[in-house]
Chain A
Amino acid sequence: MQLDTDFMTRHIPDFVHAAGLSLSIGGIAILLSLSVACIYSAILFFQVPILKGFVRAHVEVARNTPLLIQLFFLYYGLPSIGIKLSSMTVVFIAMTFLGGGYFTEVFRSGLDAVTKTQAESGLALGLSRMQLFRYVIMPQAFRISIPALFANFIFLLKETTIVSAVAVPELLYTTTSYISLYYKTYEMLLMMTICYLIIFLPLSFLLSCIERRYQYGTHGH
C-alpha cells in the first residue's frame, strides 16, 4: 500500500476548511439548542399551562426519532407541499430541534435533582418563585447538569456528520466526494479520521475529567 502523501498535503486546507464548517455548525447548533433549552426549562419549572404540554411533546419527539429522518422530512418532505428551505436552514432547524430536546431533558433532571427542602426553605424565607429559581434552584441545578450537558455537546457535535446526507460540505461529505472524484480512498479516509480524532479525542478526555470531578463532589466516596 503506497500512500500518496503529496495528494494528502495538497488537500490539507480543504480538510481544515471542512472541519471548520463541521465545528461551526456544531457550535451554532449548541448555542441555539441551549437557548431553546433554557426557555423550555423555565416553562417546565414555572408550570406554564399550555406551553408545558408542548415542551413535553417536543422533548419526547426529539429524543425518540433519528436526526436523519428529521432532516429528510424537512429537506425532501416539505418541498412537496411548497415549502423549500436551503440545506443550511434545514440543518439548523433539525439540529436545534434535536439538541433543544436533549438539553431540556438534561436541565430537567438537574432541576429534579435539587432537593425539595431547598425550594421549601427558599419559600419559607419569603423568596418569590422567580427569586427562588434564579438564586436557589438554578445555580444548583446547573452545577449538577454540567457533566451531562457536556456529554450532550459532544453528542450534538458528532451528529453534524449526519448533515452530510443533505449535501452540506462538512468533513464526511468532503471525504466521500473526494473519494468518488479521485479514488484516493486510503488517503482520504486517513485524513478524515485524523481530523475527527483531533477534534473529539481531547473533548472525550475532558468529559471523563469533568465526570470524575463532579462525581467526586456528589457521592461521598
Chain B
Amino acid sequence: MERTGIDLLIHSLPELGKGVVQTVLISLYTIIFSLAGGIMFGALRTSRLWWLRFLTRSYLELFRSIPILVWLFFFFFGLPIFFGINVPAFTSAVLVLSLWGISEIGEVVRGALQSLPKGQTEAGKSIGLNTFQLFRYVLLPQAVRRMIPPTISVFTRIIMTSSLTVLVGVTEMIKSGQQVIERNYTYGHAAIIIYGALFVFYFLICYPLSAYSRRLERRWTQ
C-alpha cells in the first residue's frame, strides 16, 4: 500500500498531539514558577543589603554562565548519586527550567524596577510605607508595563528550551515524533515529514507569542 506523507502525518497527529501537550505542560509549570520566583528574585536584586545582592548576583551568574542543557544533565546524572533520590524526568526538567527561568525573569523585573525614577521610592518611603507596601502598591504596578513584553519573550524562550528535555528522557514533542518515525521506519520519508511538522509546530506556538510581545512593546514605548 502506497502511503503519502499527508496520510502519515494525519495518522500520527494524535500521538504528536500528546507530545505537544507535554511540551505545553512543562512550559506552563515552568512559566508559573519562574514568574512567581522571578518577581521576588528581581525585587531582591534591587536590595540595599550587600550580602543579599551578592547571593542573588551569584545565583544569576551561575545560571547565566552554565548552559541550560548542562544543568539538565547535572540534575539527570547528579541528583540520583549526590542525594540518592530518583526524581521523574518530567519533574527534574520543570525544576531546572524554573530555576533558570527565575534568573531570566528576575533580570527583566530588576531592569523594570530600576528604570523607575528614584522619586517614586523616596515618595513612598516618606509617606511611611514599608518595603513590602512600597513594592506592592508603588513600584510593581508601574514596572508591570515595562516588564510584560520582555517577559513574554522569556516565555517563548522557555518553550523553545523545553525541547532540550528530550535529551534527558522526557517524553515531549520531539520524543513523540521520534517514536512515530521509529514505528514507520518502512516509510522512507517519515523522518523529514515528522521533523518538518515539529518544526512548524514550534513556530506556530512561539511566533504568535513573540509577535504579541513586539506589538505590546511598540505600543507602550510611544
Contact = CB atoms under 8 A, between A and B. Distances in A.
B69 A77 contact: no
Given A63-B210, A64-B206, A77-B195, A72 B174 contact: yes
Contacts of B207: 60, 64
Given A66-B161, A80-B190, A196-B70, A179 B77 contact: yes
Given A158-B67, A196-B66, A196-B67, A176 B61 contact: no
A73 B199 contact: yes
A81 B161 CA distance: 28
Interface stretch (B31-39, B91-99, B162-170): B162-170
- Say what secondary structure dominates the interface of chain A: helix
B202 A197 contact: no
A68 B189 contact: no
Interface stretch (A45-53, A116-124, A140-148, A184-192): A184-192
A52 to B, nearest CB: 18
A80 B181 CA distance: 11
Interface string A64-91: 1110111011001111110000000000
Contacts of B210: 60, 63-64
Contacts of A64: 156, 160, 202-203, 206-207, 210
B141 interface: no
B195 A69 contact: yes
Given A80-B191, A165-B167, A204 B203 contact: no
B78 A189 contact: yes
A125 interface: no
B188 interface: yes
B160 A66 contact: yes
Contacts of B68: 158
B222 interface: no
A100 B74 CA distance: 30
Contacts of A37: none
Given A80-B192, A172-B73, A193-B70, A69 B163 contact: yes
B70 A192 contact: yes
Contacts of A204: 61, 64-65
A61 interface: yes
A162 B174 CA distance: 14
A186 B194 CA distance: 37
A75 to B, nearest CB: 9
B77 to A, nearest CB: 5
B70 A172 contact: yes
A162 B73 CA distance: 12
Contacts of B161: 66
